[in-house]
Amino acid sequence: KSSTSHHTPPPSPQPTMAEAFTSFYPEIEPFQHGMLQVSPVHAVYYEQCGNPNGYPILFVHGGPGGGCQTNDRRFFDPSFFRIILIDQRGAGRSKPFASLEDNTTWHLVEDLERLRIFLGINKWAVFGGSWGSTLSLTYAETHPDRVKALILRGIFTLRRKELLFFYQSGADFLFPDAWESYVAPIPENERHDMMDAYYRRLTGPNEAERLACAKAWSTWEMATCKLRVDPEVVAKGSNPNFALAFARVECHYFVNRGFFERDDQIIADVDRIRHIPAVIVQGRYDVVCPMRTAWDLHRAWPEANFHVIDAAGHSSSEPGVRGKLVEATNNLRDQLVADPDAIAEAYGATAGSAVSAAPAAAAAPSRSQQHRQQQTRFAAQPQVHVLPSAASSGRQAAGVATQRSAPSGVRTLGGHTPAETPQSASASPRRRQVPLSQMSPRERAQYQASLPPAGVMMDSYQYPQTHLFQKEEKRIQAQQTRVQQPPGGHEHNVFG
């Protein structure tokens, strides 16, 4: 005699909020976006997503030259964070497209500062992967008092050995099939220095050769960036709208060694940021930015939380990497929620005077919140912040520009002002732009004299180019609150 019993399984437990979003938060659109004129040549695209009154966190994209993607907004809880993204000079939606003129690491560092000041932020968290980790670390080491926390992925410090492994000899042992396509545009007698050979062609006059080399350079990285080759990602390297900026800007930075003073500058200067809470996420089988670099940074900076994802390559879209990054932003959110002064510190307010990051804050809006509320009224269309002068707009119209000589007074590695950059990368000067705050009074005066004449009309408000930085320096010296933003309007110019 047999009997059959039927058992109803217990209901599965519902995931917590943190568990529900360890992959990606839902797609989100910006509540405000615009173009910020950061030099006579460059206007950079930026956008803000999530909670306009939330804790500010900056997403720093890779490349250099990669630009931001829509999924880059989805690592963060949009109900808590004010998510800020910026396309760096020459990349993405920034203008002029693929331009190398006045485009160095130190220009980008100062652009992040200009954006922070323009948005009325005193202190923010910074999130970056690959080249984004390079720029995030460099920015934090230059302005450590402006960074609340760092979340980093796929560490890249632009040391010569890192570049040679990927572009000269090393990664080809793992991807010999993709390597053949990468070396194909370069004659055999020039393959002893692949980066130099590519740079001559990517900055040369032959448009067809320039585009072919851009596609080959970009496809090499797209083919190697994931644990398993993804055909959709590989196809991205053949998109001319992506490849030209990605390859030109990357190669420009790499042949110039990142414009750093020394090969190991980022790791050597880690003492400047040792006090900043940080999370490092590294794919064990990352070929683009091998784990050796992340390990060296970890050994020099043991205070940072270090996570190795075993079944992962370089890409932030690898499930294990993506999940750990979202977990890191959720943990940061929880820590900030527990800190009653976090929002006040972020906006330079007196402790206890700032509103909460909760959507339904009841406190009266502060001046910075009023400014952001004005910005949201223009969220339906992009804002253009002051077109460049007639002289510079002609350069922008050219689209792809070549590098010009440094502004007078700018220090260089050789102690001189370099001449026009030649087409040959082997003769390219290795120069470093000094941040405005580190220039001597004479250098600063010379630099500011090289900018357009004072005064740009913003509606009916006269707004000199140096206004924000003069106010900011006074505020730093006096340990006051934040720079006062001008009254409403669409147009702003924040030349350094």
Report the alpha-carbon distance of residue 388 to residue 277 in Å, rounded. 39
In the 3-class helix/strand/coil scheme, how is the chain assigned residue by residue?
A: CCCCCCCCCCCCCCCCHHHHCCCCCCCCCCCEEEEEECCCCCEEEEEEEECCCCEEEEEECCCCCCCCCHHHHHHCCCCCEEEEEECCCCCCCCECCCCCCCCCHHHHHHHHHHHHHHCCCCCEEEEEECHHHHHHHHHHHHCHHHEEEEEEECCCCCCHHHHHHHHCCCHHHCCHHHHHHHHCCCCHHHCCCHHHHHHHHHCCCCHHHHHHHHHHHHHHHHHHCCCCCCHHHHHHCCCHHHHHHHHHHHHHHHHCHHHCCCCCHHHHCHHHHCCCCEEEEEECCCCCCCHHHHHHHHHHCCCCEEEEECCCCCCCCCHHHHHHHHHHHHHHHHHHHCCCCHHHHHCCCCCCCCCCCCCCCCCCCCHHHHHHHHHHCCCCCCEEECCCCHHHHHHHHCCCCCCCCCCCCCCCCCCCCCCCCCCCHHHCCCCCCCCHHHCCHHHHHHHHHCCCCCCCEECCEECCCCHHHHHHHHHHHHCCCCCCCCCCCCCCECCC
**Cβ atoms of 368 and 124 closer than 8 Å:** no
Residue 125 pairs in a beta bridge with 57
Report the alpha-carbon distance of residue 286 to residue 376 in Å, rounded. 40
Residue 48 pairs in a beta bridge with 32, 84
The residue whose two tokens read 């920034």 is 94
Report the alpha-carbon distance of residue 161 to residue 428 in Å, rounded. 19
Report the alpha-carbon distance of residue 79 to residue 400 in Å, rounded. 39
- How many residues would you count in the chain? 496
Tokens standing for 204? 């040369």
Report the alpha-carbon distance of residue 51 to residue 166 in Å, rounded. 39
Which of the residues 143, 252, 298, 314 is marked catalytic?
314
Q: Does 385 qualify as catalytic in the annotation?
A: no
Which of the residues 39, 99, 130, 315 is marked catalytic?
130
Q: Does 314 qualify as catalytic in the annotation?
A: yes
Tokens standing for 490? 């669409």
Tokens standing for 266? 């980022």
Q: 85 phi and psi, to 5 degrees?
A: -125, 145
Which of the residues 33, 102, 286, 492 is marked catalytic?
286
Active site residues: 130, 286, 314
